[in-house]
């Protein structure tokens, strides 16, 4: 199977090369990421995790210290490959004196687009900037600049969209617009690779995820396999149940408030415990299933590394297995030694 | 090649919206309009009978008008040459640092354009600005004096092109400097340094005699041999503007050296940018 992006053993070390002076920083450490075509792939991690370096390596802006990157089947430095990529940087520089059509015309010229005028108008319309086409970019808000950057990335209907914080600075309605555009692009068959701190956004639109931490790949796989697994239930009682009995049937008082937490995924055991507590006089008011969302996944990854318990947290492993299964089911081979971190 | 032109075109578009260049264009236009309105030449059968500037009579002895105009054309060539170089050094100093600025360079590099094409396009764009600026001033000056005196010469236009070539040598060094340190101030300082070194190298034979024979004189001669000779080129430019006799062989060698220096510096910039991470 061909991948839209295939990074193999990708490492990048900054600095420390001049007479071996200065401190070197390992921004990426043996990262293996495979992005299936036609999907939305989210890359998440804390600041300094190496996300932007990874994106720059994918675009050929940063040369890897070791390892290999293939984009759309070729080297990111090939002109024919770059012609098929649309990129929105985290902080796009826009010449303040230019109008949006002039800026997009400049990109269209370099991309060698035919009939650029129609394409420019179409993309400006998609990002709701057609009405502001006569204004100078210097007077634009951050959100408008971001949408103009997105229009530039969309020019020429690229096969791969690489978006670094695409919704940064955009208001909630604008975010919905961006999300809809990305979904349209996905339906068109484009691969969308995005990096964002807005985990809920990533969770909503991504099919696949990868988590980077301190330059290392912690896990990757489908969103379902990584985030949506049931871990237990949280229960609120009208009156607190007998503590000893609750403990016996598997409930523990949640540290965050008057909630009791049941760890486990077996519904029968959970219901038996609830019945026992009900018989003891504890009336149930509310039951909430507890799943692993992206935020908790990221928190666990970070906690496990900070705690130094293990290289890769055990609770992430199902996601990796899921990833492997997912890749296999989609026809991809599982990379040897793909174990992250 | 089309991508190089596309980058150069963007640079021209950007320059056209900069206050520096708008001010330069405005200043040249105002000067030419002022000259056209205030200068009055009375030419009788090829002889300058009277000259008035702002209504004041500044007539000298009666002479053939082409002879009288020669020093004016010569002065015009010097102003375009050195004025253009100094202006260009200041006004074009931040093109390359701006090109390499975060948020812009990674976006440009994600487009189907090679790094070397970005450098070549920037160099070509700045060279075009320099030549257009010089030609605009020279053409205006030629037209004003031509209309008033009836003497038409292409000399000032050729000298403007020479000034552009002279500036290209300086801008090559500025471009190379910007790829090592992304600073408009440093880029301008390097440009000023090359100009100074180029002025010194124009008098290298005379100045070398100030050094005692030995290693220091050798170093001075070796260093100045590499530098473009701006004063020599400015003199040649003034000679062309004034339709004075000139050794074409010497001029071609001078221009070749100038272009070689500029292109070599641009290659250094291209070599450097090929090895950079952004």
Q: A120-176: per-residue pLDDT in tens?
A: 999 999 999 999 999 999 999 988 999 999 999 999 999 999 999 888 888 888 888
Instruction: Give the separation between CA B179 and CA B166, rounded to whole angstroms.
Output: 21
B58 DSSP β-pair partners: none
What is the phi/psi pair of residue A205, to 5°? -110, -10
| Residue B271 tokens, joined | 């070599």
Which among A169, A154, A10 has a CA at the least distance from the CA of A76?
A10
Give the pLDDT of residue A339. 35
Q: Please list every residue in chain B whose beta carbon sits closer than 8 Å to the beta carbon of residue A111.
A: 111-112
**Is residue B44 assigned to a domain?**
no
Mutation for A interface: B16, B111, B274, most A CBs within 10 A? B111
Report residue A24's pLDDT band, with 50, 70 and 90 as the boundaries: confident
Give the pLDDT of residue A19. 58
Which among B184, B214, B195 has a CA at the least distance from the CA of B91?
B184
Instruction: Using an 8 Å CB-CB cutoff, list residues of chain A that contact chain B.
Output: 14, 56, 59-63, 79-80, 82-83, 85, 87, 89-93, 95, 97-98, 102, 106-107, 109-112, 152, 162
Give the pLDDT of residue A1. 66
**Is residue B262 assigned to a domain?**
yes
**Is residue B28 assigned to a domain?**
yes
Instruction: Give the separation between CA B167 and CA B97, rounded to whole angstroms.
Output: 18
**Is residue B59 assigned to a domain?**
no
| pLDDT at residue A336 greater than cutoff 80 | no
| pLDDT at residue A18 greater than cutoff 60 | no
**Is residue B248 assigned to a domain?**
yes
What is the phi/psi pair of residue A237, to 5°? -105, 155
- Among B103, B111, B112, select the one facing A92 at the smallest CB separation: B103
Which among B63, B245, B259, B233 has a CA at the least distance from the CA of B163?
B233
Low-confidence ranges of chain B (pLDDT < 50): none
**Is residue B52 assigned to a domain?**
no
Which among A160, A45, A142 has a CA at the least distance from the CA of A91?
A142
Which among B88, B274, B113 has a CA at the least distance from the CA of B179?
B274
- Per the structure, the complete domain to which residue B177 belongs is given by 2-38+65-275
Across chain A, mean pLDDT equals 83
Instruction: Give the separation between CA A191 and CA A158, rounded to whole angstroms.
Output: 9
User: Shortest Cα distance from B16 to chain A (angstroms)?
Assistant: 10
Domain count, chain B: 1
Instruction: Give the separation between CA B223 and CA B196, rounded to whole angstroms.
Output: 13
What is the phi/psi pair of residue A169, to 5°? 85, 0
- A241-267 burial string, b = 16+ CB within 10 Å, else e? beeeebeebbbeeeeeeebbbbeeeee
| pLDDT at residue A212 greater than cutoff 60 | yes
Give the pLDDT of residue A341. 30
Our measurement of the distance from residue B160's CA atom to the centroid of its chain's CA atoms, rounded to an integer in Å, reads: 7
Instruction: Give the separation between CA B153 and CA A52, rounded to whole angstroms.
Output: 59
Pairing of strands A85-88, A160-164: parallel
| A84 within 8 A of A58, measured Cβ to Cβ | no
Pairing of strands A160-164, A191-195: parallel
Q: Which of residues 91-150 of B touch A (CB under 8 A)?
A: 101-114
Q: Please list every residue in chain B whose beta carbon sits closer than 8 Å to the beta carbon of residue A106.
A: 6, 9-10, 13
Helix, strand, coil in percent for chain B, rounding step 5:
75, 5, 20
Instruction: Give the separation between CA B125 and CA B12, rounded to whole angstroms.
Output: 6
Whether B181 and chain A come into contact, CB under 8 Å, resolves to no
Task: Extract the runs of DSSP E, i.e. beta strands, from A214-333.
Answer: 216-222, 230-237, 251-253, 259-263, 284-291
Give the pLDDT of residue A310. 44
What is the phi/psi pair of residue A20, to 5°? 60, 30
* pLDDT (average), residues A97-125: 92
| pLDDT at residue A333 greater than cutoff 60 | no
> Which residue bears the tokens 């507590």?
A277
- What Rg, from alpha-carbon coordinates, does chain B have? 21
Q: Which of residues 202-261 of B touch A (CB under 8 A)?
A: none
Report residue A315's pLDDT band, with 50, 70 and 90 as the boundaries: very low
What ipTM was predicted for this assembly? Answer: 0.78
Instruction: Give the separation between CA A223 and CA B204, rounded to whole angstroms.
Output: 72
- Per-residue pLDDT of A177-201, as tens digits, reads 899 999 999 999 999 999 988 888 8
| Residue B185 tokens, joined | 């101030």
- Per-residue pLDDT of A239-270, as tens digits, reads 888 889 999 999 998 876 788 989 888 889 99
Report residue A21's pLDDT band, with 50, 70 and 90 as the boundaries: low
**Is residue B43 assigned to a domain?**
no
Q: Please list every residue in chain A whose beta carbon sits closer than 8 Å to the beta carbon of residue B7.
A: 110
**Percentage with pLDDT > 70 across chain A:** 86
Report residue A69's pLDDT band, with 50, 70 and 90 as the boundaries: very high
Report residue A337's pLDDT band, with 50, 70 and 90 as the boundaries: very low
Question: Residue B78 to residues A156, B196, B203, B235, B249: CA-CA distances in angstroms?
Answer: 49, 16, 17, 8, 21
- Among B102, B105, B112, select the one facing A79 at the smallest CB separation: B112
Please answer yes or no on whether A56 and B278 come within 8 Å at the CB atom. Answer: yes
Across chain B, mean pLDDT equals 89
The DSSP letter of residue A36 is -
Instruction: Give the separation between CA A68 and CA A83, rounded to whole angstroms.
Output: 20
**Is residue B72 assigned to a domain?**
yes
Please answer yes or no on whether B106 and A56 come within 8 Å at the CB atom. Answer: yes
> What is the helix (H) or strand (E) element at residue A310, kind and residue range?
none
């Amino acid at each position: 199977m061909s991948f839209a992006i295939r990074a193999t053993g990708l490492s990048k070390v900054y600095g420390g090369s001049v007479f071996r002076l200065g401190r070197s920083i390992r921004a990426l450490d043996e990262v293996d990421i495979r992005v299936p075509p036609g999907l939305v792939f989210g890359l998440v991690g804390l600041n300094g995790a190496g996300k932007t370096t990874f994106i720059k390596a994918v675009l050929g802006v940063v040369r890897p210290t070791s390892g290999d990157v293939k984009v759309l089947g070729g080297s990111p430095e090939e002109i024919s490959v770059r012609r098929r990529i649309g990129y929105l940087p985290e902080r796009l520089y826009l010449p303040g004196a230019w109008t949006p059509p002039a800026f997009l015309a400049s990109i269209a010229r370099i991309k060698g687009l035919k009939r650029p005028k129609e394409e420019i108008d179409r993309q400006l319309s998609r990002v709701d900037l057609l009405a502001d086409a006569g204004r100078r970019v210097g007077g634009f808000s951050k959100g408008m600049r971001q949408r103009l950057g997105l229009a530039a990335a969309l020019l020429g209907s690229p096969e791969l969209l690489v978006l670094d914080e695409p919704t940064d600075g955009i208001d909630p309605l604008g975010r919905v617009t961006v999300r809809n555009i990305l979904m349209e692009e996905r339906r068109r068959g484009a691969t969308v690779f995005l990096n964002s701190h807005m985990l809920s956004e990533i969770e909503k639109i991504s099919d696949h995820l990868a988590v980077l931490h301190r330059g290392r790949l912690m896990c990757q796989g489908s969103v379902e396999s990584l985030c949506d697994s049931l871990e237990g239930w949280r229960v609120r009682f009208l009156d607190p149940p007998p503590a000893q009995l609750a403990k016996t049937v598997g409930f523990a008082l949640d540290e965050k408030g008057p909630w009791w937490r049941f760890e486990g995924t077996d519904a029968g055991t959970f219901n038996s415990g609830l019945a026992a507590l009900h018989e003891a006089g504890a009336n149930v008011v509310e039951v909430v299933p507890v799943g692993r969302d992206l935020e908790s996944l990221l928190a666990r990854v970070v906690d496990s590394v900070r705690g130094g318990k293990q290289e890769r947290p055990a609770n992430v492993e199902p996601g990796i297995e899921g990833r492997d299964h997912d890749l296999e089911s989609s026809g991809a081979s599982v990379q040897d030694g793909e174990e992250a971190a | 090649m089309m991508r190089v032109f596309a980058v150069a075109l963007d640079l021209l578009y950007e320059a056209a919206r900069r206050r520096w260049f708008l001010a330069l264009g405005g200043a040249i236009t105002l000067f030419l309009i002022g000259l056209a309105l205030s200068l009055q030449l009375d030419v009788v059968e090829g002889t300058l009978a009277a000259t008035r500037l702002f209504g004041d009579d500044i007539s000298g002895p009666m002479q053939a008008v082409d002879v009288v105009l020669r020093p004016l054309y010569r002065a015009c060539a010097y102003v375009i040459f050195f004025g253009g170089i100094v202006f260009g050094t200041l006004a074009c100093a931040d093109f390359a640092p701006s090109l390499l600025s975060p948020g812009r360079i990674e976006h440009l590099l994600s487009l189907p354009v090679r790094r070397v094409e970005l450098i070549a396009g920037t160099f070509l764009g700045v060279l075009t600005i320099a030549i257009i600026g010089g030609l605009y001033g020279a053409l205006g000056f030629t037209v004003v004096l031509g209309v008033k005196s009836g003497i038409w010469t292409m000399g000032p236009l050729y000298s403007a092109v020479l000034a552009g070539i002279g500036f290209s040598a300086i801008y090559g060094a500025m471009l190379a400097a910007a790829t090592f340190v992304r600073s408009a101030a440093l880029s301008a300082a390097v440009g000023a340094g090359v100009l100074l070194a180029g002025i010194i190298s124009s008098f290298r034979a005379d100045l070398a005699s100030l050094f005692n024979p030995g290693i220091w004189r050798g170093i001075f001669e070796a260093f100045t041999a590499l530098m473009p000779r701006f004063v020599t080129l400015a003199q040649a430019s003034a000679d062309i503007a004034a339709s004075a006799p000139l050794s074409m062989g010497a001029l071609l060698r001078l221009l070749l050296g100038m272009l070689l220096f500029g292109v070599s510096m641009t290659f250094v910039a291209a070599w450097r940018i090929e090895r950079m991470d952004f």
